[in-house]
Chains A and B, each alone.
Chain A
Amino acid sequence: MTPHVFYELKDAVVGIAGLGGLGSNVAVALTRLRVGKLVVADYDVVEESNLNRQNYFADQIGKHKVDMSIENLTRINGEADIEGHKIRLTPDNIPRIFKDCHIIAECFDRADQKQMIVETVLSKMDDVVIVTVSGLAGYGRSNDIVTRYISDRLVLVGDTVSGIGPGVPLTAPRVGIAAYHQANAITEILNDRLKSK
């Protein structure tokens, strides 16, 4: 990647809705890319069961995911600009919290919450792109996880069928593949926008 591209990504603002297996890892990738600013939101604290796939550490159990993500990301880049929101996201507060974002990564766990934010962004936030995930549970089948460009404003990552359930756990490798698909789609969209300027 050229220095020119790095400079331009400094102007980008990306939202991350949820800091679990997807969001905590998308945030790492975008911080390493030196995306200009991240707006991150989650209401939860780090639990021991999170450590199998989420970017936290054992000594962070019990602490807020927003605080711990900022701590970890700042260790990657001491100048990272990260705006944290300790809040449960709703159709009413999403447009306000992510108002400055060009792209939002949907990083929730529950299917109905994924539906909620995608519908909210597409119906209430003009020109904002949402990169969402459906189908990442289990292990293996790496190449079943794909990135689909549904429309100018909607990107869908995943195999679309592998939901969490009995005998189908969430694992670090497959959640990580999906998270890095998301981060890669965001990188591509930001760069395509620059090329068209």
Chain B
Amino acid sequence: MSSQLKINGETKTFDQGLPDTLTQLLETLAIDAATVVAEIDGRIIERKSFAQTSLSEGQTIELIRFVGGG
């Protein structure tokens, strides 16, 4: 079953079904959770809740990734 999420404005299709949680999505995308701010449907998700945050079809997800320097 293929499923879709809108991530940073682009539709991403998951042929094997959605990752169960936000943590699993970040692992799939090879993103370090320590340097990302996540919003799902406009709502901020705190990093400590990533592992308990389940995903569902059609959600809009913003992943703001930080690199060092300032």
Contacts and interface: CB of A to CB of B under 8 A. Distances in A.
Interface stretch (B17-25, B35-43, B51-59): B35-43
Contact of A134 (B39, B44, B47, B65): B65
Given A115-B34, A151-B39, A156 B69 contact: no
Interface in A132-175: 132-137, 150-151, 154, 156, 160-164, 170, 175
A113 to B, nearest CB: 9
Residue from B35, B64, B67, B70 whose CB has the most chain A CB atoms within 10 Å: B70
14 contacts: A21-B70, A109-B68, A109-B69, A111-B35, A114-B35, A123-B44, A123-B46, A133-B70, A136-B69, A137-B67, A150-B39, A150-B62, A161-B67, A164-B68
Contacts of B65: 134, 160
Interface string A1-41: 00000000000000000101111000000000000000000
Nearest to B37: A118
Interface of B: 34-37, 39, 42, 44, 46-47, 62, 64-70
A115 B70 contact: no
B64 A156 contact: yes
A173 B42 CA distance: 34
Given A111-B35, A150-B64, A170 B44 contact: no
B51 to A, nearest CB: 15
A94 to B, nearest CB: 14
Contacts of B66: 111-112, 114-115, 118, 132, 134
A151 B42 contact: yes
Contacts of A164: 67-69
Given A115-B37, A123-B44, 4 more contacts: A109-B70, A154-B39, A156-B64, A160-B67
A175 B68 CA distance: 12
Contacts of B47: 115, 119
A34 to B, nearest CB: 25
Given A151-B39, A156-B64, A160-B65, A119 B44 contact: yes
